[in-house]
Structures are given as structure tokens and as C-alpha cells.
Amino acid sequence: MDVLHIDKNAFAKLAEQDKPVVVDFWATWCGPCMRLGPVLEELAAERNDIIIAKVDVDQHPEFAAEFGIDTIPAIFLFKKGVEQKRVIGLMDKTALCAKLGL
């Protein structure tokens, strides 16, 4: 599955899914965010049991503010729309999966 680029409305629809949703809050000017992108794309290609989505904080600042985002990349794990875990910063796929419990 591809990484989805979402806004608040798309997130609300994803929250209804049975699959866990991993959301990366990022920006195009953020070096660590850009390096995390391929990690998330690889994870999305390998796993059918999760949904990977990205929110550009510059395009959707009000949505990012709802989650108190002040440092990016910020990666969240949601189940049925409820935040389960939050991870801040760049890491490799193994570390990210371990911290998110995937």
C-alpha cells in the first residue's frame, strides 16, 4: 500500500478503519523528515496490516496543533482514531517499529 497524504477530513475517515494508522507529521524543509520518508514508504510496501499516512504541518497547521506538534518528524500510532503511541525524531525502520509496537 502507498503512503497516503492526508488532512483532518481524510484522517477522520481513516480512523474508522480496523487497521492501525501510523501518521507522520512532517514538512518539506525538515531534513530528518525527508530522510524518514523512504523508511515509511518501505514499511507501507511491506505491511498490509497497517495504514501509513503523512500530514504536512505547513499545509495543515491547525491539524498539527490539535496534537501539540512542536517538533517534527512526529510519528503517531492510532487505533480506531485513538492515539496509542507517539515517537519524535528520525530513526530506522527497526527502531520505529519497536517504539510503535508494530
- For the annotated catalytic residues, the residue numbers are 30, 33
**Closest of 79, 62, 73 to residue 95, by C-alpha:** 73
CB 80: neighbour CB atoms within 10 A? 12
The radius of gyration computed from the CA coordinates of the chain, to the nearest angstrom, equals 12
